[in-house]
Structure 1
């Protein structure tokens, strides 16, 4: 009986650590794209001052492919390393907050829509739909090469 008790205790502790996501990565240093929380006006001002392109993930909370991008693509180290160094990254729920007004400026056909925008607010590239990490990197590199 004691063996069963100890086996159950060990199983509980092991599962508890797994469910809690017991990784040693400190908050804020996760790999992947780091998105700014700034207002759109501030993002445009920053892009102009730093002479950087804005990468805008225009999504909706109910969108399945948007959730996949967030979970499977934006979290990739290689994607984050490139995008964090080359772009000002913004994700915006286009149905909440500043999103509806922004969707008037940048009309959307579907979710997700990935926009590369210069500091003057001009769209340099528009990509619709889910992209693999490799495709997103390739698109980002082609945008950078074109400016």
Structure 2
């Protein structure tokens, strides 16, 4: 009886525990593995967020993400705690601290914890693919995304 009660209590605690995000620690992992962090900000009842999530989970895009990025999916309406540099607070407060008012939004963070690029609003699969290439090649250091896309077209 006591074992059953302990099991029920343990399962209840596990099922209600939220996932917290320590972007400082994740940045260290990104730095060690030479990857960027891709943070997907979304919210409940957002049709464009759902469509963009489908695009991110598509076979073509998910392969790139698994190979080149550490992906965090942050729902503004969930209760996780985010730690980033000197900030520690809820998902919603974190989004506000970054100035995010529109969803979906993608934020890219390098291995040093610096935000290197952001994408506000819905993007089609091919647009996401170009953005991922832009970030992976670290082209944000010396050209705009538009210049990068022009270069891609020229190279093809």
On whether the aligned pair clears a TM of 0.5, the verdict is yes
Residues 31-58 of structure 1, C-alpha deviation per residue, up to 9 Å, x if partnerless? xxxxxx7723432231122221001101
Query: What is the aligned-residue RMSD (CA, Å)?
Result: 1.9
Q: Take 2:96 and 2:121, find their aligned partners in 1: how far apart are those partners?
A: 19
Q: Take 2:101 and 2:92, find their aligned partners in 1: how far apart are those partners?
A: 14
Q: Which residue of 2 aligns with 1:52?
A: 35
> Structure 1: where are the runs of 5+ without partners?
1-36
Q: Which residue of 2 aligns with 1:115?
A: 107
Q: Which residue of 2 aligns with 1:22?
A: none
Q: Take 1:38 and 1:53, find their aligned partners in 2: how far apart are those partners?
A: 19
Aligned length: 110
1:69-88 matched pairs, under 5 angstroms:
69-71=52-54, 73-88=55-70
Q: Take 1:68 and 1:40, find their aligned partners in 2: how far apart are those partners?
A: 27
* Aligned residue among 117, 126, 136 for 1:134: 126
> Structure 2: where are the runs of 5+ without partners?
1-18, 82-90, 142-156
* Aligned residue among 61, 76, 80 for 1:94: 76
The answer as to 2:95 corresponding to 1:103 is yes
Q: Take 2:96 and 2:72, find their aligned partners in 1: how far apart are those partners?
A: 17
Query: What TM-score results when the alignment is normalised by the length of structure 2?
Result: 0.63
Q: Which residue of 2 aligns with 1:17?
A: none
Q: What's the offset of the Cα at 1:106?
A: 2.0
Q: What's the offset of the Cα at 1:63?
A: 1.4
* Aligned residue among 14, 22, 25 for 1:40: 22
Structure 1 segments of 4+ aligned residues over 3 angstroms from their partners: none
Max Rg structure = 1
The structure with more strand, counted as a fraction of residues: 2
